Amino acid sequence: MNFDVTIIGGGVVGSAIAYFLSSQTEKNMQIAVIEKDPSYQEGSTARSAGGIRQQFSTRENIQISKFAVEFLRSISSHLSVDGDPVDVNFEEKGYLFLARDSNIPILYNNHSIQKSEGVPVALLDQDDLARAYPWMNTSDLAGGSLGLEGEGWLDAYGLNQAFRKKAIAQGVSYLKDEAYNLETTGSKVTAVLLKEAGRIETSFVINAAGVQAATVAEWAGIDLAVRPKKRFVYSFSCRTEIERCPLTIDPSGVYFRPEGQQFITGCSPEASNDPDCLDFDVDYNWFEEHIWPILAHRVPAFEAIKMENAWAGHYAYNLLDQNAVLGPHSEIQNFFFANGFSGHGLQQAPAVGRAISELILNGSYQTINLERFSYQRMLDNKPVSEINVV
């Protein structure tokens, strides 16, 4: 078999790349996506919390999300197949970052970067918070930052499948198979080896393997500091109505948001308690002992909640700076990274899909310049770090 571009991993990132590449019909590229899990249940995408925000401190991340919002608002015009509308339940209900006194300077600093990028975001003081969210305990808060539009959540699995279906309609071949090695000649990858189908000769290889990214890189002799880190999402019900609830991020790092008639919540652990992990076991005590008390403190009505469900998923966690690694390797120039998205790869998929296709088709970024996210920064130890409020 022979393809121009072989994408390892058909999650939301690999499928977005396949869609954008195959949209350039005049190039008539032969594109393969290798995906080992036909259920799409084990990758990060289907297990994500589905959030999209513009409230970042890195300009590129803001621009990436702005493009995603534009794309999602008109998703049918991009991803419809045979005229069927596409609906990924994009709910623009905002992100609300809450801050205590000590974090107000960061909140204000991020706010000015966001405003200069044209993000519709508002700073709220303690009184504003109490007025807008009477269900919230604001006694220990100094303020918050609310996204007024272009933030919220969506059906992550649905977006993955919509990209996939459209890519297939545009001629992309999805192979249900597992890649297990690469062949290289000099400074080029020449073939991808598959467990079932054998060998694919290819001009470009794109690593979109999510938490397996470091393994795929290793096949080309590349050390990639991306590791699987387990995260839990818990859903719960609450009898009291919590009106106009955005995706709220408590100063402790615990977040919650509505999900249909219920809510979902979660929190990243301390770095010192965050081992590499690939299992799906759920820690229910983490909810009882850590998350619930914080929820109940922030929203007194959450004293009386019932946990309904829980699941585990994995971040493809960039150990350097928790940001994406994008573009070609500096020496093996036909090996491309689309890795290390940590907690924000879902919302980055549209812009990353477009960006990688620009690199393949034009040799350089055409819309958003994402050079700062190159693999070279990992070698140079130059992190592009988000300055987080929590």
Can you give the binding site for ligand FAD, defined by CB under 6 A? 8-14, 34-37, 40, 42-45, 47-51, 178-179, 208-212, 231, 233, 313-316, 341, 343-347
Question: Can you list the positions of beta strands (E) in 115-197?
Answer: 121-125, 143-147, 152-153, 173-176, 179-185, 188-194
Using the minimum distance from each CB to ligand FAD, give the nearer residue, 15 or 138. Answer: 15
Residue 320, C-beta contacts closer than 8 angstroms, at least 6 positions apart: 225, 377, 378, 381, 383
Q: What is residue 126's DSSP assignment?
A: H
Complex with ligand FAD: residue 114 or 207, whichever CB lies closer: 207
138 versus 344: smaller Cβ distance to ligand FAD:
344
| C-alpha atoms less than 13 angstroms from C-alpha of 261 in its C-beta half-sphere | 4
Q: Is 327 strand, coil or helix?
A: strand
Q: Minimum Å distance from CB 44 to ligand FAD? A: 4
Nearer to ligand FAD by Cβ, of 52 and 141: the residue is 52
For ligand FAD, give the closer residue by CB, 133 or 317: 317
Q: Cα separations (Å) of 329 from 92, 192, 193, 332, 374?
A: 37, 17, 20, 5, 8
Q: Which is nearer to ligand FAD, 323 or 334 (CB)?
A: 323
In angstroms, give the least distance from the CB of 138 to ligand FAD: 25
The angle, 0 to 180 degrees and rounded to 10, between the axes of the packed helices 156-169 and 345-362 is 20
Q: Considering only CA atoms, which of 229, 223, 217 is closest in space to residue 343?
A: 229
For the bound state, the minimum distance from the C-beta of residue 177 to ligand FAD, rounded and expressed in Å, comes to 7
Work out the burial of residue 370: count CB atoms within 10 Å of its CB; fewer than 13 is exposed, 13-18 middle, 19 or more buried.
Answer: buried
Give the integer Cα–Cα distance in Å for 93 and 245: 8
**Exposure string over 202-240, b if 16+ CB within 10 A, otherwise e:** bbbbbbbbbbbbbbbbebbebebbbbbbbbbbbbbebee
Q: Which is nearer to ligand FAD, 138 or 174 (CB)?
A: 174
Shortest Cβ 32–ligand FAD spacing (Å): 11
CB distance 56 to 68 below 8 Å: no
Closer by beta carbon to ligand FAD, 143 or else 356: 356
Question: How far is the CA of 333 from the CAs of 54, 193, 203, 330, in angstroms?
Answer: 32, 19, 10, 6
The minimum distance between CB 98 and ligand FAD, in angstroms, equals 17
- CA 49, 53, 59, 64: dihedral to nearest 10 degrees? 70
Nearest distance, CB of residue 384 and ligand FAD, angstroms = 16
Output 143 or 295, the one with its CB closest to ligand FAD: 295
From the CB of 134, what's the least distance to ligand FAD, in Å? 26
Least separation in angstroms between residue 125's CB and ligand FAD is 27
Strand partners, 125: 143
207 sits in which H/E element = strand 198-207
In the complex, least distance from residue 337 CB atom to ligand FAD, rounded to whole angstroms: 11
